[in-house]
Amino acid sequence: MTPLTSHGTRTMAATKSTLLALALLAIATVSGLGVTRASAQDVLISGPLAGAPAVRNMRVYREGRVNLIPGVGYTLQDEYARSLFLTVEANYHFLDWIGVGLWGGFNMARIDTDLTTQIAAVGQTTDRNRLSLPDRAAFSDQVGRMVWAASLHLMFVPLRGKLSLFQAVFIDTDLYVFGGVGLFGLQERAATDVVASGCDTMIGGGSTASCIDSARARADRVAVTPMFGLGMSFYANSWFGVMIEWRAFPFSWNPSGTDESGEGRDRMPGGGFPDGVINGDDSRTTFNQMINIGLVFNLPPDQAITD
């Protein structure tokens, strides 16, 4: 037998040490897993939270209650006229996270945008645009206005919790989304054409009286639209709170009261602009928006509290 060298002896010793360390590590790992599994099973089966609900003593603000919400709404991103609505909303919730409701409002004020003010101040009337702008001073009277609104919606409340103010005051709050169908009462410029309105002639270099009167003539109609949005409620106590929400309601109308359509010889839109007629063909879809702020009154005033 050939004797081992000192180098071979050291190599075998190192190998044995490595194998021993790996064996100890494996034993420790298995032992640790066993302890962890046993601890987890112990908490799951007999720990202090076993069978406990996710939240105790939770205040139930919506389930089985009616929310009455008077408020005000202000439209956003309007081109020619803004609307200030006096609104009222009523919701009933079958569960704390789902309900149905009605919303409605009336436009209390006609507020011209800066664009309308500028057109009324410096707008230019020519033979080409006389039907669209008979008289710049009357432009504010020809733009479209929202008069009233109503909607039926379904409400879903995915989140609720507490809002902390400077770690001193805590307010119960929830976030909700809603969607449904809306009705909007609109006033627009009445349908006319360049001949019937008298806008095909001039008097003293300006528009005729009948042409100017056509800008002020109004027509009422109701627009049906989807309405959707989201909001947050902040509760001061069991029966009173504040809400703020964003609403969207796209519909088609003629907000400027101008001649916007026309066809060319190929009957493609735009080729024959303007076509000398103001009617439904001049309508376009706008993405209308509103911020609504209101006071929340919960009925009955007493609320349920979970175990």
Residue 241: count of CB within 10 angstroms of its CB: 22
Whether the per-residue pLDDT at 4 is higher than 50: the answer is no
- Tens digits of per-residue pLDDT, 204-238? 778 999 999 999 999 999 999 999 999 999 999 99
**Sequence ranges of the domains in the chain:** 1-47, 62-305
CATH of region 62-305: 2.40.160.20
pTM above 0.75, yes or no: yes
**Mode of pairing for the β-strands spanning 240-248 and 289-299:** antiparallel
Amino acid residing at 198: G
Residue 113: count of CB within 10 angstroms of its CB: 15
SS3 (DSSP) at 42: helix
Least confident of 53-57, 156-160, 259-263: 53-57
Q: pLDDT confidence of 12, banded at 50, 70, 90?
A: low
Q: How far is CA 60 from the centre of its chain?
A: 25
- Tens digits of per-residue pLDDT, 58-101? 677 788 999 999 999 999 999 999 999 999 999 999 999 999 99
